[in-house]
Amino acid sequence: MIFIRRPQTDPYFNLAAEEYFLKNSRQDVLMLWRSEPSVVVGKHQNVMAEVNMDFVHENDIPVIRRISGGGTVYHDLGNINLTHISVSRKTDRLVDFHEFTKPVVDFLKQFHLEVQFEGKNNLTLHGKKFSGNAAHVFKNRVVHHGTFLYKTDLDRLENVVHPGNSHITDKSIKSVRASVGNISDCMENPMTTEKFMQQWELFLKDFYHIGTTVDMTAGERRPIEKLVREKYSQWEWNRGYSPKYRIDQERNTEYGKFQVALEVKEGKIDFIKLVFEGKQLLKIEQKLLGRKHDKPDLRKALAENRFSEVIINTLF
């Protein structure tokens, strides 16, 4: 196994790097890394149902889809990510979160912290979740990866979660909401995130008997950057990959009652019925059909309509 240094904090690059090393490295790989503020959703999740899109648009926070399943997570520089990529030598159980998180549990014992493993893949301290983990299998190789809240902005984390999605019907994987907390808040003498990462790196190298530490080469960075351009920065992957979903709701506004029935496929409006005070708005439906189910895009379509914002809010 080798340890790859990961100073990059671009979230698009960081997620693309995991996929690249999973599919192209012949060695077992371990990486610790951090990303700038971003929201990362599971492969089979509906972004619209999971993420407070108004908040992320207002705060310029990117929403990116990863290749593994599981729930939605928030990344910032106070969150540390651990990636373990290996050839699976098991035939019956390729994914093992207990085995993957054991070095985390052992490391935190040094700080007199007793970690609990809860559910299928979560770690908690004092009843609060600080780590969620996921995995993805490619041929005979497996990537286990997890987020570890050390000194994350918890207020912002709570804000990126969708405030309510009972009007959305779909078959996507739903995140399980839990009370969260930072590791640093449980420590008697918390250190900086950078210092914590340094100590954790040393512990992991000893735990896995890693003797080789390397930096990414230019030959590795180029295909990763290509993967960013062609996949991880693309709307079709991050939003269009969401499962088909439907919205049925009505809203009473200062102008009257709006009713909407909406179906979205591959991120675009595939069917729409919009009714205002009993009258179907056929011309507006025609303008919106086939458009991305995304407020900025719909604002362009209805730029000349003085009720555009009221109409758009009815569609979400």
pLDDT tens-digit readout, 1-56: 999 999 999 999 999 999 999 999 999 999 999 999 999 999 999 998 899 999 99
Residues 54 and 115 in one domain: yes
Check whether 175 has a pLDDT greater than 70: no
End-of-domain residue from the set 189, 214, 238: 238
Question: What percent of the chain has a predicted confidence (pLDDT) above 70?
Answer: 94
Residues 204 and 259 in one domain: no
- Over range 246-263, report the average pLDDT: 92
CA-CA distance, 128 to 308, in Å (whole number)?
42
- Report the pLDDT value the prediction gives residue 307, as an integer from 0 to 100: 86
How far, CA to CA in Å, does 14 sit from each of 8, 45, 75, 264, 305? 7, 20, 11, 29, 41
- Report the pLDDT value the prediction gives residue 127, as an integer from 0 to 100: 93
Residues 7 and 73 in one domain: yes
Check whether 197 has a pLDDT greater than 80: yes
Residues 259 and 136 in one domain: no
The residue segments making up the domain with residue 266 are 245-314
- Return the amino acid letter for 133: N
Beta bridge partners of 259: 250, 275
Q: Which residue has the tokens 């675009």?
A: 268
Residues 92 and 165 in one domain: yes
Residues 203 and 293 in one domain: no
Give me the number of domains the chain comprises.
2
Domain with residue 285: its CATH number is 3.30.390.50
Domain with residue 175: its CATH number is 3.30.930.10
- Closest listed residue to residue 12, CA positions, set 88, 86, 63: 63
Residues 62 and 147 in one domain: yes
End-of-domain residue from the set 198, 219, 238: 238
Residues 207 and 279 in one domain: no
- Report the pLDDT value the prediction gives residue 119, as an integer from 0 to 100: 87
End-of-domain residue from the set 214, 238, 262: 238
Higher per-residue confidence, 39 vs 95: 39
Predicted structure pTM score: 0.91
Task: Give the burial string for 44-60 (b: 16+ CB within 10 Å, else e).
Answer: ebbbbbbbbbebbeeee
Residues 300 and 184 in one domain: no
pLDDT in tens, 146-155: 999 999 999 9
- Return the amino acid letter for 47: V
Contacts made by residues 103-107, CB under 8 angstroms, sequence distance 24+: 103/203, 103/204, 103/207, 103/208, 104/131, 104/146, 104/148, 106/203, 106/207, 107/200, 107/203, 107/204, 107/207
Residues 100 and 214 in one domain: yes
Residues 163 and 250 in one domain: no
Check whether 164 has a pLDDT greater than 60: no
What is the sign of the dihedral through the CA atoms of 233, 174, 68 and 268?
negative
pLDDT range class, residue 117, cuts 50, 70, 90: very high
What is the sign of the dihedral through the CA atoms of 121, 203, 68 and 156?
positive
CA-CA distance, 18 to 199, in Å (whole number)?
22
- Over range 55-59, report the average pLDDT: 94
Residues 44 and 93 in one domain: yes
Check whether 265 has a pLDDT greater than 60: yes
- Over range 219-238, report the average pLDDT: 97
What is the average pLDDT value for the chain, to the nearest integer?
A: 93
- Report the pLDDT value the prediction gives residue 142, as an integer from 0 to 100: 94
Lowest mean pLDDT among 19-23, 143-147, 172-176, 243-247: 172-176
- Over range 91-119, report the average pLDDT: 91
